[in-house]
Amino acid sequence: MNKKSFASDNYAGIHPDILQAIIDANQGHSKAYGGDIYTHKAIDLFKKHFGENIDVYFTLTGTAANVLGLSSLLNPYQAIICAETAHINTDEAGAFEKYTGSKLITVKTDNGKITVDDIKNQLFAIGNQHKVQPKAISITQGTELGTLYTPEEIKKISNFAHANNLYLHMDGARLCNAAAALNVPLSVLTKDVGIDLLSFGGTKDGMMFGEAVIFFNNNLSKDFKYIRKQGMQLLSKMRFISAQFIALLSNDLWKKNAQHANSLAKFLKKEVEKIPEIKISREVQANAVFAYVDPKIIPLLQEKYSFYVWDEITSEVRWMTSFDTTKEDILEFVAFIKETIAEAF
Amino acid sequence: MNKKSFASDNYAGIHPDILQAIIDANQGHSKAYGGDIYTHKAIDLFKKHFGENIDVYFTLTGTAANVLGLSSLLNPYQAIICAETAHINTDEAGAFEKYTGSKLITVKTDNGKITVDDIKNQLFAIGNQHKVQPKAISITQGTELGTLYTPEEIKKISNFAHANNLYLHMDGARLCNAAAALNVPLSVLTKDVGIDLLSFGGTKDGMMFGEAVIFFNNNLSKDFKYIRKQGMQLLSKMRFISAQFIALLSNDLWKKNAQHANSLAKFLKKEVEKIPEIKISREVQANAVFAYVDPKIIPLLQEKYSFYVWDEITSEVRWMTSFDTTKEDILEFVAFIKETIAEAF
Amino acid sequence: MNKKSFASDNYAGIHPDILQAIIDANQGHSKAYGGDIYTHKAIDLFKKHFGENIDVYFTLTGTAANVLGLSSLLNPYQAIICAETAHINTDEAGAFEKYTGSKLITVKTDNGKITVDDIKNQLFAIGNQHKVQPKAISITQGTELGTLYTPEEIKKISNFAHANNLYLHMDGARLCNAAAALNVPLSVLTKDVGIDLLSFGGTKDGMMFGEAVIFFNNNLSKDFKYIRKQGMQLLSKMRFISAQFIALLSNDLWKKNAQHANSLAKFLKKEVEKIPEIKISREVQANAVFAYVDPKIIPLLQEKYSFYVWDEITSEVRWMTSFDTTKEDILEFVAFIKETIAEAF
Amino acid sequence: MNKKSFASDNYAGIHPDILQAIIDANQGHSKAYGGDIYTHKAIDLFKKHFGENIDVYFTLTGTAANVLGLSSLLNPYQAIICAETAHINTDEAGAFEKYTGSKLITVKTDNGKITVDDIKNQLFAIGNQHKVQPKAISITQGTELGTLYTPEEIKKISNFAHANNLYLHMDGARLCNAAAALNVPLSVLTKDVGIDLLSFGGTKDGMMFGEAVIFFNNNLSKDFKYIRKQGMQLLSKMRFISAQFIALLSNDLWKKNAQHANSLAKFLKKEVEKIPEIKISREVQANAVFAYVDPKIIPLLQEKYSFYVWDEITSEVRWMTSFDTTKEDILEFVAFIKETIAEAF
């Protein structure tokens, strides 16, 4: 691939500092399965960012972090309420249903964010033996549509959740992007606003792989080590995930990478807005730019640049930036868009 | 950890050539989820070793390779016949039962190897609706007890299996050790002797992580891409598994690493045999040494060296060697054993 | 309960002819688990009604007939397309997701009936490993909203389904009501129009319990005996389901019972239409009457009569008639409605 | 079938008093799904027999009572310890593994009864994340081998279980036979000796169908109504199970039926013992007689009488008696055995 991609932040490679951490950790033997010093240190760093009372477990994929984490919250006859656009609903190939045996109760949203009212409407069946029983709410921060919840919005949801005996899960595959965009510490969007369970994503912020399942409610985590192993997500040479997290959570690397990606998305948006044939379709709050592009143009652009068509019907596309996207990449891409449009019409 | 461990070959780190391959692959953007050139190249190398007609999919853990692979062979009302000592039965926290909903039919063995007679005795219930229906056999090569199947032994099992409408799976977490010990190409223990499905392990032969699910029967693999994703094992930055496999499967690295580990196990055995208080308990065919050690001595040894007690009742321990174990490590360990015994009695 | 209920057709008891069949079958010993003469005879009768090439298995509940039948059509990474109002989606406590590990893809409808266009819109993800793969369509006949598919409408769906490698399942918990209302044999709504799999309901048409899973495609049924047993639905004293089906399928009892219930629903509708304060909300095609009733009145009516509020927001209720509802029951109920309204306003 | 069968107590039909109870319950409409007066009365009777503090739920099959009950005790990464001969292990087609996703840890026994020592040996892996975690013990009373636990034996197991944070489940498909044989009330074998969860069988003691899941520990039952519905075991016309249980639990019918079957088994044993060519192979404590029969004779006997070969290798057969077996049936059967042997040798 000659060109930088705008398909997803996981088309990028490994941030150099993180790769160096892997290299440095490759010294001699270490206790497998998490008994090593890197894992202990990484957990300490997580506690520094998210509070001392958390329990942290590393998994290999984001789907696993979501699904195994959620499986610790509920029984199969219980259900999760989430946005119709939630990654667990749309892009995990039914992993949630397969692994938990539970049901997702989805609500339509305009912008990927659910509200207390959306949730209220799904609670009518509590106590009815013929219906799945809502047990948790899952929100994504930043959302699959590039939008962000404010801390206040999350707090409202968690207050409602807890008042109704529901847990609150956050899919934080891009939590770093959200925190960087809102310019707040990671705890302000999680611990401080009542999140019970967090899937914290490292891959999309510059790691080679690795996600963390963070429990803010210790009662929920007591058997998670068995869940992780039975869920096929216990890495033997764990130190190599842990070393990556140590790098990511040190020296504000998580924030720098995310800020970079976010700012390049804003820059892309600004440049694209100059092209009259293209219309930005959603607010750009993190590192995703959505736009309506003429369906004739899309395949021509995709000859050189990878990106996803989000909605075939409305001809809406998604462009993601990442920690290594450069202004030059953007300018080159935008020039190519202009050129393609000029030739096409 | 100051000392080399004899706990497991996954206490070792990454072989330098494999780490270098990761570093080299960290260039720019690549299509995620396996659409990259490294993955294509790695698959080509697998075909070189295992035959052109295979289908190959990478997973992140060995448990996942076993469980997801097996799940493609059977329905929940069907069952797998395996040795009681099989890793899928003893060390995967019930992942097989959880994910497939199926049952393992286990047979007792002396040495971790099952025979056609063992299998025959488990087929009495075919056609009986009250009983799970055997659908596949799973063997481990090298076994969990450090023993090896000869190609002829495998062929006998596969002939019987296929004549009885059963598939044959091999858990090859240590297939490299087996092939190196028997001094045969990888295909001789798999494709040539009727294996239908192979879990090929990279981690225990010097990789950071990464396993391969190899289908010798293309009918079985057609939906595996969905199974892998739903099974939470689709890595986004796939190139970093693939690059490792390229290194492992090039320049006979898979064999050199395995031969090294195997020969050090033989060396350890030879040295330990000189200690009258310790009795080697099993034939040493690959990179595991089993021995009876006085129960008073075991915890004293474990103060300096990690290793597993295999059987508390018989006081049998397991010592594993790895690609990076040295003669000095062995001699130092053996000296420590002698010294500990001398002090203890 | 002094009054006849309008809650559901399963508040009724056993039709006298069916009870007599149970009594008559209680003679001596019979082979358990379906090896008895009653089961053979019942299956023969099913073949008379549904065609010689079917395979038939009895289950104990309608939920089981749906879920176990569907489980034989698909793998966990595949999905069923159905109406949002489908019983499998709304009233089976997540049994489908729990047992199959699969996902329901639901489509909104006005009247409980899905169309080819609804289905088409759900096929965009075929081949995409991140998405569940549609494998079958499930329709309910008569629907949960009291409406009916014509044979032509079903045929259109099955043609589309088969052209797109999808199976077509029918939840026929009230198929007898549908066939009676349309005045066609049972085969005209199933075999003749391309149904692959049918859940045939006996309970709501006068049986004590008992449903049939009917396969029109023999390839799909070959392992169903194991699925049924593993699904906890193999009755030991099977003859007592079979005897009931023999009675139901003989002498047009299935039709007489359904016609009776249907005609009483029409009668109820006619009488209720005379009450200006109540508005019939849906077409009455089988044995359900839906109506908007003032929310103040509903609990007053429920003091004497059981029935369900279908939609709290619109204040829509559902009244079901059954094989044993009488004109007197209807007149008494309608009189009570009038009286209650008169007192309330 | 002209002859009474000795295959299983479920080859028998319905006891006349129980059938009459069904007939009597078939009056008008009743609230579905257990809201009827019969169900309330049946539950009251269960409390009379098993203590006021129980929770009782009815299911349709014994497999379902076992599996759904056990599923309320454990998570998928936990396991049940049971005898290798346990019905849940051998004769439920893998329903336990499918539905719970858990593993059965089986122990070999001579007579179908497990002991505290058997259980102790299975607890070594507690706390080890690579291993399933024992969470409950399941015993069968009377066992699948026709033997019985004394109250003291059960108490020893429950004491050990509770001291080790394990629950104790009893598969009581033939609990009535056990209690009748030991001449004790039902509570003496359950509530009084520390059973946490009981599957109480009605079918084999003269009912048409119907089993009860009884929780002696109310914490375990709080969500069982959802489990039962999601488990496809909620009968709509529940009154017809309840009416049967009312009959069974009234006027000592449960005991009379069981005593009758038990005494006929003893009679069969006594008569068979007179035949020198046949050897009774196990103690006859309830309503099963096991015997070694020459393999040439077995198929000849099966031409007229249904029964199971328990072990092909040792040529051991099982003969069951039921509530409706008569002395004449036995004498006729024994005469036929003698005659067959005389002709064969």
Residue among B1, B29, B92 minimizing CB distance to A29: B1
The rounded distance, in Å, linking the Cα atoms of A203 and A39 is 17
- What pLDDT score was predicted for residue C334? 97
- What pLDDT score was predicted for residue D332? 96
Residues A236-265 have pLDDT tens digits of 999 999 999 999 999 999 999 999 999 999
Q: Check C232 against D236: CB less than 8 A apart.
A: no
Residues of C in contact with A76 (CB under 8 A): 94, 97-98
Rounded mean pLDDT, C305-330: 95
Tally A–C CB contacts below 8 A. 56
Parallel, antiparallel, or unpaired for β C279-280 and D133-140?
Answer: unpaired
Q: Which helix (H) or strand (E) holds C134?
A: strand C133-140
Ordered by where they begin, the domains of chain B are 16-249 (3.40.640.10), 253-344 (3.90.1150.10)
Rounded mean pLDDT, C20-46: 97
Q: Percent helix, strand and coil across chain A, each rounded to 5?
A: 40, 15, 40
Residues of C in contact with B128 (CB under 8 A): none
CB D61 within 8 A of CB C232: yes
Q: Check C93 against A130: CB less than 8 A apart.
A: yes
Chain C residues within 8 A (CB-CB) of chain B?
A: 33, 75-78, 129-130, 132-133, 223, 225-230, 234
Rounded mean pLDDT, B17-34: 96
Residues B227-268 have pLDDT tens digits of 999 999 999 999 999 999 999 999 999 999 999 999 999 999
- Tokens 């493609």 -> residue: B72
Q: What is the average pLDDT score of chain B?
A: 96
Residues B7-22 have pLDDT tens digits of 888 999 999 999 999 9
Residues B60-112 have pLDDT tens digits of 999 999 999 999 999 999 999 999 999 999 999 999 999 999 999 999 999 99
Tally A–B CB contacts below 8 A. 169
Closest CA to D222 of D100, D57, D66: D57
**Quick one: closest CA in B to A307, which residue?**
B31
Confidence of residue D345 (pLDDT cuts 50, 70, 90): confident
Residues D20-45: b if buried by 16+ CB within 10 A, e if exposed: ebbbebbeebbbbbbebebbebbbeb
Q: Check A77 against D226: CB less than 8 A apart.
A: yes
Residues D2-23 have pLDDT tens digits of 467 898 889 999 999 999 999 9
Residue B299 pLDDT > 60: yes
Rounded mean pLDDT, D21-38: 96
Residue among D76, D92, D98 minimizing CB distance to B94: D76
Residue among C26, C60, C64 minimizing CB distance to D13: C26
Alpha carbon D57 to chain centroid, angstroms: 16
Residues D225-251 have pLDDT tens digits of 999 999 999 999 999 999 999 999 999
Chain length of chain A: 345
Rounded mean pLDDT, D137-165: 98
Closest CA of chain D from A216, distance in Å: 21
Confidence of residue C1 (pLDDT cuts 50, 70, 90): very low
Residue C2 pLDDT > 80: no
Q: Check D77 against A223: CB less than 8 A apart.
A: yes
Tally B–D CB contacts below 8 A. 56
By CB atoms closer than 10 A (0-12, 13-18, 19+), residue B51 is middle
Residue % of chain A over a pLDDT of 70: 99
Residue C114 pLDDT > 70: yes
- The model's pTM: 0.97
Q: Check C131 against A98: CB less than 8 A apart.
A: no
Q: Check C93 against A77: CB less than 8 A apart.
A: yes
Residue C294 pLDDT > 50: yes
B101 secondary structure, DSSP code: -
Q: What is the rounded (10 degree) CA torsion for B300, B303, B309, B313?
A: 30
Rounded mean pLDDT, B114-129: 95
Closest CA of chain C from A93, distance in Å: 4
Confidence of residue D218 (pLDDT cuts 50, 70, 90): confident
The rounded distance, in Å, linking the Cα atoms of A327 and A333 is 10
**Quick one: closest CA in B to A88, which residue?**
B230
Amino acid at D90: T
Residues of A in contact with B21 (CB under 8 A): none
Residues C169-197 have pLDDT tens digits of 999 999 999 999 999 999 999 999 999 99
Q: Which helix (H) or strand (E) holds D172?
A: strand D167-172
Q: Check B19 against A14: CB less than 8 A apart.
A: no
Closest CA to C133 of D230, B216, A98, A232: A98
Residue C3 pLDDT > 90: no
Residue among A32, A93, A324 minimizing CB distance to B226: A93
- Tokens 């944070």 -> residue: D165
Mutate to test the interface with B, among C67, C77, C223, C235 (most CBs of B within 10 A): C77
Q: Check B101 against D103: CB less than 8 A apart.
A: no
Those residues with Cβ within 8 angstroms of residue A161's Cβ, 6 or more apart along the chain or in another chain: A119, A136, A137, A167, A168, A194
Residue ranges of chain A whose pLDDT lies below 50: 1-2
D52: left (phi over 0), alpha (psi -120 to 50) or beta: alpha
Residue B1 pLDDT > 60: no
Closest CA of chain A from C25, distance in Å: 33
- What pLDDT score was predicted for residue A1? 45
DSSP string, C210-241: -EEEEESSGGGGTTHHHHHHHTT---TTTHHH
The rounded distance, in Å, linking the Cα atoms of C59 and C67 is 11
Q: Which two tokens stand for residue D249?
A: 């639990």
Residues C153-173 have pLDDT tens digits of 999 999 999 999 999 999 999
Q: Check B226 against C33: CB less than 8 A apart.
A: no
Other CB atoms within 10 A of residue A219 CB? 8
Alpha carbon B239 to chain centroid, angstroms: 23
Residues of B in contact with A240 (CB under 8 A): 14, 208-209
